[in-house]
Amino acid sequence: MIAALTGRLASKAPSHITLDVQGVGYEVFIPLSTYYALPDVNESVSLRIHTHLREDAIQLFGFLAGPEKEAFLLLTAVSGIGPKLALSVLSALSVTDLISAVQAGDVDKLATVPGIGKKSAGRISLELKDKVERLHPTAFKAPDAPAALTNRIHEDALSALVNLGYRAPEVKDVLRRIGQSGSAELSLQDLIRDALKELARR
């Protein structure tokens, strides 16, 4: 099993990257929190890896922070939660927010994640209630988004939210409203967080 990879960042997108390790390109699926902290393309990066074996494929899931990988493994142990859905949870909620929601039994907050209904949220809350203590959120600090032009930030936010399962026209409308509210200088991370809150109210 592949547990870690270090190589050149050949390409990156909000949902996945290509990591060049000595001439071999590995496709690695990532949560948004890892995407925020990635270096520029062609720079070196090290990721903690979870190798997921399927009958028809081998998929790699990567994380820059240890608590993210721990949370991912806990989520995939929940009945009905696969690796892609676990990434959606970690893309919509920080590790700290996930722990708080589970410990408080906040099913409504968990259900705001695309693909997670009330039943799945209930299972996450129930099955992880006694397990999330093994995570160490105090050691995890969400990275700031890299500086970029406003239009590029909006394009990245649109791509990320569509990858999370939202419809492009709805996302564009929400991003436009946020921009009109005077929040044009938000970082990518803050913009996506505000958009997720707005989308959850719809």
pLDDT for residue 141: 44
pLDDT for residue 145: 42
Q: Which domain holds residue 174?
A: 150-200
Domain CATH code at residue 129: 1.10.150.20
| pTM summary value | 0.67
pLDDT for residue 143: 44
Of the residues 63, 80, 110, which one is the last residue of a structural domain? 63
For residue 51, the tally of other CB atoms under 10 A from its CB is 11
Q: Are 55 and 71 contained in the same domain?
A: no
Q: Are 95 and 127 contained in the same domain?
A: yes
Q: Please state the separation of Cα 80 from the chain's center in Å.
A: 18
Angle value at C-alpha 183, between 156 and 202, nearest 5 degrees: 75
pLDDT for residue 196: 87
Task: Decide if 145 is inside a domain.
Answer: no
pLDDT for residue 150: 59
pLDDT for residue 136: 58
Angle value at C-alpha 47, between 133 and 83, nearest 5 degrees: 60
* Element holding 20 (H helix, E strand): strand 16-21
Of the residues 91, 114, 139, which one is the last residue of a structural domain? 139
Q: Are 28 and 43 contained in the same domain?
A: yes
Tokens representing residue 130 in the block: 């006694």
Contacts of the segment 69-77: beta carbons below 8 A, 24+ positions apart: 70/134, 70/135, 71/95, 71/98, 71/132, 71/135, 72/31, 74/128, 74/131, 74/132, 74/134, 74/135, 75/124, 75/128, 77/127
Per-residue DSSP letter, 37: H
Q: Are 135 and 71 contained in the same domain?
A: yes
Task: Decide if 156 is inside a domain.
Answer: yes
Domain CATH code at residue 192: 1.10.8
Full pLDDT tens readout for the chain, 202 residues: 789 999 999 999 989 999 999 999 999 999 988 998 899 999 999 999 999 988 888 999 999 988 899 999 999 999 889 999 999 999 888 888 898 889 888 999 899 888 898 899 999 999 998 888 777 554 444 444 443 335 677 778 888 888 888 888 888 888 888 876 765 557 777 788 888 888 887 6
pLDDT for residue 161: 83
